Amino acid sequence: MVNVVLFEPEIPPNTGNIGRLCHALEAQLHLIEPLGFSIDEKSLRRAGLDYWKELNPKTWADWSAFVEGEAPQNLHYFTTKVQSTYWDATYRAGDYLVFGPETRGLPESLLHESPELCRVIPQKRGRSLNLATSVGIAVYEAVRQIDHSSEI
């Protein structure tokens, strides 16, 4: 389906909710370290994430390891710092939807490197949406487009 990439996520419940979404849609979850929490078995059990093993997220030591190991094609960077909306993008099966950490977003260097890959979820007020909400909005737009094009 699609790949969801969380770059240095900080808040465990957000990652748990995103993991649940990925599990439900059979999307691959990628976690780029460092993480702001532990994903050891005890922590996952305590958080009620009993589906985590079925989800089988891929954890990467850093962005370079992810790029080298995954060789991602069709990246979409989500940020509040651009005008190009998420619904103007074309999504295909296998795309990578990349989201930054809750408190600072994706690194400016990454955004400047490929501005044509940057997407925004417009809003009328506030700084930004919750990370899990943003991932849900973006993933379901990708699923809508992929379903519509019969690529699944």
Q: What is the pLDDT of residues 61-91, one digit of tens each?
A: 999 999 999 999 999 999 998 889 999 999 9
Contact criterion met (CB below 8 Å) for 30 and 66? yes
- 39-48, 67-76, 128-137: segment of lowest average pLDDT: 39-48
Residues 27, 4: contact at Cβ < 8 Å? yes
The CATH code for residues 3-148 is 3.40.1280.10
Percentage of the chain exceeding pLDDT 90:
70
- Could you tell me the pTM of the whole model? 0.92
